[in-house]
Amino acid sequence: MTFAETTLVTSSKSQTFTRPVLKHRIESIDILRGLIMLIMAIDHVRDYFHPIIPANDPTNIATTTPFLFFTRFITHYCAPLFVFLSGISAQLAGGRRTKKQLSAFLIKRGVWLIIVELVLISFAFSLDPLHRVLPLQVIWAIGASMIILGVWIWLPTDLIAATGIVLVFGHDILDYLALPKTGAAGFLWKLFFTGHREFFQIAGPFFVKTNYALLPWAGVMMLGYVFGLTYRSSFDPARRKRILQTAGVFLIMLFFILRVFNIYGDPSPWSAQRTTVLSILSILNVSKYPPSLLYLCITLGPGMLLLASMENVKNKLTDIFIIYGNVPFLYYILHWFILRTLSIAEFYLQGYGEKDIYNAKLMFFFRPDGMGVGLGWVYIVWFVVIAILYFPCRAFATYKRTHSQWWLSYL
């Protein structure tokens, strides 16, 4: 996240010229953000290039393979870490704005992200010009969480932290309650707390799909906002590193204690399998929809350790991660359209025709169930996608670093 910068002013006779200076960014945040953006694309490539058959369900322990499970599991880190880092970025943005300005900015940016999700990303997701399904995915969760945070920042920091802790650690209590499952009440419960990729009819053929239940994700952003205090310029970096390491180790230990004994924190308990490897996969097979406490522990915990370890790390690989981490919004938008363009090419190359264009079960275009390639090819396509994106991301990162137009804060 950029800090407030001074402006270089040069006087010549009676004229004053203003030239923007390069903006300073916290590189450990950009490194981790770039890494998770690259990893995220693996899952989306798998969604469109791996055949949709029961045997290809990566979370079905009865049929999955370690490689397939890992392909899905590694991408679990992306959404929670990105939301957490968004909270840190919001805190840092407050370092150069008044509280009123920050509140307004978060609310406006949140609304903008929701619009982008419902209009642009939903189209890229399904290629349906009628938008018959509006999937509430990660950009919706980030945008709506920003709106909530924009209101919540008026409260004392301790209360923001307490709210985030209650939402993250407590929402799994709802697994033990009898909640409405249908009607307006059922929709609202799923929208805010328990959404599990379910369809709700708006009118006729139009549906909302509750992929990301809002409030648990808002809790993650609140905790990121509080952790962002450790990234203020006045905070001791050594102390920040210790806090991140302690919190990371605590979350990992909590995961194993609660998970091994099936105490609390996930609606799907693990069970012993026919092999040791599959039993380990069962332990790691935690629930993302909605994000269970154990899911957040095993993703945010290692993420905090990574953040702590990336301070002052500088090499050619981290330079590449920084490029993507500087412009995650552009990367996210472009990767969907590049991916879908390649999937259309795959559609025709594999011999599908007009009758196969619309998949009524998924409500997707150009995604018949049987279409796809092996998992090895999925990784090749993934590499092609991120390689294509490198150059536009690098160009836009340079532009953002050397310019300060107001609209850049929304991209």
User: How confident is the model over 267-308, as pLDDT tens digits?
Assistant: 999 999 999 999 999 999 999 999 999 999 999 999 999 999
Q: Residue 10's beta-bridge partner residues?
A: 17
Name residue, tokens 């970096």.
237
Pairing between strand 133-136 and 206-210? parallel
* Regions of the chain where pLDDT drops below 50: 1-22
- Structure confidence at residue 10 (pLDDT): 33
Nearest to 4 by CA among 404, 408, 328: 404
- Structure confidence at residue 1 (pLDDT): 44
Tokens, residue 46? 């798998």
CB 140 within 8 A of CB 111: no
User: What's the gap between Cα 31 and its chain centre?
Assistant: 15
Q: Report the alpha-carbon distance of residue 172 to residue 168 in Å, rounded.
A: 8
Query: Residues of the chain with pLDDT > 70: what percent?
Result: 94
Q: How far is CA 315 from CA 265, 307, 312, 328, in A?
A: 38, 16, 10, 20
Compute the Cα dihedral for 117, 143, 206, 203 and give only its sign. negative
Amino acid at 68: L
Tokens, residue 150? 């924009």
Q: Residue 11's beta-bridge partner residues?
A: 16
Q: Report the alpha-carbon distance of residue 252 to residue 260 in Å, rounded.
A: 12
Three-state DSSP class for 13?
coil
- Structure confidence at residue 405 (pLDDT): 86
For residue 280, what are the contacts with CB-CB under 8 A and spacing of at least 6?
Answer: none
For residue 250, what are the contacts with CB-CB under 8 A and spacing of at least 6?
Answer: 301
pTM of the predicted model over 0.95: no
